[in-house]
Structure 1
């Protein structure tokens, strides 16, 4: 392999998660978080909408002698906002209902990658309320997409260190 990360590319995982959400939420604006979603430091969303971002990754080495194989998990967040102008409580419930739809789509899903590989089942790890300026309450869903990460390790072999001597 010539790439920095092997079979489990988190950029591809994120794109595949986005495609899954876009297909399952045709009545929502689904997109990565961008600078257009902020007014100063405040999150501003036009409902119904879902915004996602990559929140990092964890790696647990497997037992290969070169330490090039890892159980990996990409951590992502989906922020869900919907509206109901009846009351603040009804607005929060509308956002929670959208968050529940997102959980239904993601929980247990195996993310298919363009490399023809699939993730382990998606894990929902948290759901927390978040204030949204001019709207009220959104819900941030934390989810993990586990899979196998393989690295090429071009410097893992003695010949790479000693120039083949």
Structure 2
């Protein structure tokens, strides 16, 4: 594995692992911090789908759950519909939820990214969305998702 094409992020969330797990797997809770529509089948081989990510119509993340350990760990394939560089199933997102300091340490690793540009874009996206997750899972309102606007030059 080319370590230069791996995105790693950690964030501490002021909520228990069960709450954070729900915000990563329950479609209604996912919508509080990412996307306009979500569908999940939370079991190995089940669907992971989030539409209109970043407020961009047609930007759809799709994958399949590979590992589900309730309240502790998720792993799912990941990619973008209509994106030849990073199509559905081309990447792997692994998320560990660690009970720490009265809350949850979220440790995320995204592998399988094809090049430095995709890696940089995903690193920026994960920083944005893990920040939104941190707010939502702790009971706050992350506000309107302006990620697409931040990409405009």
Q: TM-score, normalised by structure 1?
A: 0.35
Could you say which structure has the larger radius of gyration? 1
Higher-helix-fraction structure: 2
Higher-strand-fraction structure: 1
Q: TM-score, normalised by structure 2?
A: 0.37
